[in-house]
Chains A and B, each alone.
Chain A
Amino acid sequence: MPNNFALGQENLWSRRQLLKLGLAGAGVTGATALLHMLNAQSKSIVKIPPMEAIAPTNAPKNAANPMQVLRNFDYGTVKKENGRTIREFRLTAGTSIIQLNSAVSYNIWDLNGRIPGPTLRAKQGDRVRVLFYNQAGHSHSLHFHGVHPAEMDGVRPVSNGSAAIYEFDAEPYGVHLYHCHIEPVTRHIAKGLYGMFIIDPPKPRPPADEIALIMAGYDINDDNRNEFYAFNGQPHYYMDNPIRIYQNQLIRLYVLNIIEFDPAVTFHLHANFFNVYPTGMTLTPTHKADVITMGVAERHILEFSFRYPGKYMFHPHQDAIAENGCMGQFEVVADSKNAISTPKNSLQ
């Protein structure tokens, strides 16, 4: 990576370009992702339209910021120990507030001040070390999906004010998740203690505009039913602030359903079909669909590109869930000359 970046070199790093990378507002954690994206950018021609990070509400402190969740991956702090790559992640559970709409605020448990927690990303075979610090009152824990020894399974309570270290090898590759595993797990997850955990295959997937979408529900009155739903933490956010993508650009969606209390939801994309990589554990798609059913904690990689510019909705086809907040749209922007053509692994 060139080391001639400097403050004030407007021609190199205008505000617009940083926004284009989707990282303004991401703060320091975003720096890791930024570095990666710069690396990725130099190797490919993945194009991401400029986009402003709009705060979900004018509330003074809102832990939800969907634009930050969208394309922001946390690769951890990389160390070499005994010739192995160690990725060290730090997650602190705290308490904060989100504004579900202009009238309703809700107390959540956050991870690193945000909901959902950071999207942690490693490569298959890396050693992952997660330092979990609990400052959120109740006992909490972090349980990772994947393969690891029993002691690292994260079902033991970590009491308030203390920290636990989880360490395991990143395997198998795919799109996974992590979440608190203290009972009632429904409450601990629905109040915010979850995030996506991506393990990349040894040989990277083809370049694409990579996007994380996490579907979650909010049970604001503890009646074991959700009153609100959201993509990336904030109800209706992407309806008001569509996700801008380029026409004909390969889009790789990492989609996770962590909606508690509803046994299953679908994910439906308008005016298109996507290639399905179940649990992200294949390198070739198994089929094509425009609706995919996902049980709780189920997740997949979906790939597609849009042929025509315009706005296209996505939502669970349980329309009541969509109407209560789990709804968004892509805004396809014309930019034919710089985009990648159709998906490499397309079945068509």
Chain B
Amino acid sequence: MIKVRYIFLAVAACAIVSLSSCNAGTPTAENTGTPVANSPQASEAVSNNSHSGHGSKNQININTAILSELDKFEAKLAIPALSNKIQANRPYASPEELVSKKVITQEQFNQIKDMVTVQEVALTGEAKDVDYMSKLGLMKGHLIVAKELLDQNQPKQAEPHIGHPVEEIYVDVEDQLNERKVKEFKTTLVTLQDLVKSNPKAAKLKTDFASSMQAVDGAIAALPEAQRSKTGFVLQVINELLDSANSEYGAAIANGKISAAIEYQDSRGFVTYANQLYKGISSQMAKDFPEAHKSIETSMAELVKTWPTAIPPAAPVKTPNDVTKLIKTIEQNSQTVIDKSSTQAQR
């Protein structure tokens, strides 16, 4: 074994210097950790109980909001790519951290501070629908890949992808299902999972699977058709799906090999569904936004090649870096479309 010595001395020493200078003159309380430097809220007595109180309707949670929601700040302050910058600097302990983390200036913050929160906000309008559809889209992606694996007689590999929709997503979307009067389908998913685990050869499996898929489709159909065919809306959902696919793909690869099949398959499912969604709006896109369309279509076609089969290939077709790049290109192009379509809608 080669012994590597960690020499982070410079870092440690710098830390001592900065700590001691912060501390100068103030008695250090027992167990006091890193003192807060330049944090505006440190001196204020801000009550920030994240579990108490409700955000007002117009507020946006900068910790959880989707990109297109963050665009409201971008529009108000006219700072290009602000949404991405806000996202990149997560998490925020308080709205004021937008300033202390140098995302925006104090002056800019003053203009938007009534709109910003870190407390849970009930989503409204389009953002709520995008959130709902994205979560169902992730469920759909899991089920798509599960179906492929079942068809290839791989129930063991299919099982986690039947489990994930209910384990990781269902609770999060449950309230919305009730609100939108969608019949609960947790039972359907759990029944299918039980069957795959205990008796994957049962003939009933096919019909159980079909009803799970139908249940998710039915939940998606609770959104008005007009909404679901709007390019700006669908692109937001696609971005959410691709973002998860990107992280999952990165989690699948170690030392240049696909070592985690589950994560590889998850990302395959998300991209497959994102691609299906894009096919649904592509003629509209070609007509209204030919340039963005061309770029998205090319990148999407390239992206899909990353997952040639449901069972991972011996060697990855693309590196996580390549996948990230393609997804970023799609995201950037769709963002211009989303921005345009939302301003059009306001007129």
Contacts and interface: CB of A to CB of B under 8 A. Distances in A.
B90 A163 contact: yes
* Chain A CB within 10 Å, residue with most, of B8, B23, B31, B252: B31
B93 A137 contact: no
A165 B91 contact: yes
B8 A82 contact: no
Contact of A2 (B6, B20, B41): B20
Interface stretch (B103-111, B240-248, B308-316, B335-343): B240-248
Contact of A107 (B23, B90, B260): B260
Contacts of B11: 27-28
B97 to A, nearest CB: 10
Chain A interface: which size bin?
35 or more
B92 interface: yes
Contact of A31 (B7, B16, B87, B253): B16
Interface string A72-97: 00111111111001011010100101
Interface in B1-27: 1-9, 11-17, 19-21, 23-24
Interface stretch (A32-40, A261-269, A315-323, A331-339): A32-40
Interface string A157-184: 1011111111100000000000000111
B174 to A, nearest CB: 10
Contact of B63 (A32, A152, A165, A184): A165
B243 A161 contact: yes
Interface string B163-201: 110011101100000000000000000000000000000
B93 to A, nearest CB: 5
A79 B38 CA distance: 12
A228 to B, nearest CB: 14
A33 to B, nearest CB: 8
Interface string B256-296: 00011011001100000000000000000000000000000
26 contacts: A2-B20, A3-B24, A4-B20, A5-B20, A18-B13, A28-B15, A34-B16, A35-B33, A39-B28, A54-B4, A74-B33, A75-B32, A76-B33, A102-B1, A129-B48, A132-B91, A137-B248, A138-B164, A138-B266, A157-B169, A160-B243, A161-B247, A165-B93, A166-B50, A222-B262, A240-B1
